[in-house]
Structure 1
Amino acid sequence: MPLAKGVDTMAPIGFIQNELDLKFLVLYIMARTAGPITFLQLLELALCDAGVDYFSLTKAVEHMVETGQLSKEGDRYSITEKGVRNSQICESSLPYSVRMHCDENLVKVNEALRREAQVRSQVSENQDGTCTLKLDFNDETTPLLHLELLVPERKQADTMAQCFQDEPTDFYRQIIQLLTQRNGSQNS
């Protein structure tokens, strides 16, 4: 007997079968991130299952913000206390293989988030056309370096910020070396 036109004969793929499953997955991920993440980071983490797609994830995340399980500040999402409670209740509903795959992917994202929290650069434009470059370097609990520089133009400030972001430990080490060197012509 022929099927009606437009009826999908394929069974859904992946473990994530519906919106509720997807919300469980989002809560599981968000409860384990080291800090707020962008939607693209969340999408990358959620794509651990073939049942996830961009549009359904967008809809689920928007609904979770509306219901107070996630919060959004700027372009970053974080889990709320309500979301954490719900995650603890429903995490066992996710298949073990999905949870393990998420955990593997979270290692890389959390490492990047921790590094981002430890190394910060910010360029702000001044009224006179110059820029102020702020550089911050922290270990896990202590600020190691805070430096503000006046830079003549935006392009130069952006280049300097990127150099700092690429090699913060070398930058820090060189500053310490410069500050601790003794000039050979001075008496100790």
Structure 2
Amino acid sequence: MSRTGFIHDKLDIKFLILYLMARVASPVDFATLADLTFCDDGVEYFDFAASVAELVETGHLQLEGERYTITEKGRRNGKICESSLAFSVRRKCDRNLARVNGVLRRDAQVRAEILPREDSGVTLRLILDDDKGNIMTLDMLTVSEEQAGQLAENFRAQPEKLYESILQTLLENQEE
């Protein structure tokens, strides 16, 4: 079956993967990498999966837990080969990367950690950063991991709202 698109074989897919991995803001999971890579109609799933495995095997990518990062070897070889990708494919990749990188940066700046305590409670640590560093770290005692998980999810959805509420409370005029 003939392929449509600009990507025609596994080597093209590997170049595309290295191009993407050199530009993601942080390590990505397989699904995110797949989403980014299927920007061209010539990419087929099994060739993509095999290409990722081969890039890990050859030391171009590194798998840490469930997340992939590019190695120095991958970055160097990818830079040499990126001009072989069609301009329209690179442009589409760059648009998709902008979207994904926005999400990855936000996830890196808004974090929640659930820490068990010796006294049968759970500490929920809420962390809010910006580009310059930490804005807020808040430790809260919760009664269960389930409650901590729910609070963490709510925090991740609207961290600015909590920060603004705390700031507003602390800045209130006490004479009122």
- 1:61 and 2:52 matched: yes
- 1:139 and 2:130 matched: yes
Partner in structure 1 of residue 145 of structure 2: 154
Once the two structures are superposed, residues 98-148 of structure 1 have per-residue CA deviations (whole angstroms, 9 ceiling, x without a partner) of 111111111110000110111111223345542221111011121001111
Which range moved further: 18-27 or 62-71?
Answer: 62-71
- 1:113 and 2:104 matched: yes
Q: What letter matches 1:62 in structure 2?
A: A
Once the two structures are superposed, residues 51-92 of structure 1 have per-residue CA deviations (whole angstroms, 9 ceiling, x without a partner) of 212222121111111211111112111111111111110000
Deviation (angstroms), 1:177: 1.5
Contact 2:3/2:41 (CA < 8 Å) preserved in 1?
no
Match of 1:76 among 67, 74, 84: 67
Identical amino acids, percent of aligned pairs: 45
Q: What letter matches 2:42 in structure 1?
A: G
- 1:93 and 2:84 matched: yes
3-state SS of paired residue (2:138):
strand
Q: Distance in 1 between matches of 2:157 and 2:54?
A: 37
Q: Give the direction of change, closer, same or farther, for the CA distance of 1:60–1:127 in structure 2 (3 Å limit).
A: farther
TM-score by length of structure 1 reads: 0.88
Question: Which ranges of structure 1 fall in alignment gaps of 5 or more residues?
Answer: 1-9
4+ aligned runs moved over 6 Å, structure 1 = none
| Residue-pair matches, total | 176
Question: Which ranges of structure 2 fall in alignment gaps of 5 or more residues?
Answer: none
TM-score by length of structure 2 reads: 0.94
Deviation (angstroms), 1:13: 2.0
Match of 1:48 among 35, 39, 53: 39
- 1:38 and 2:29 matched: yes
Partner in structure 2 of residue 173 of structure 1: 164
Bigger Cα Rg: 1
Partner in structure 1 of residue 154 of structure 2: 163
- 1:24 and 2:25 matched: no
Q: What letter matches 2:36 in structure 1?
A: L
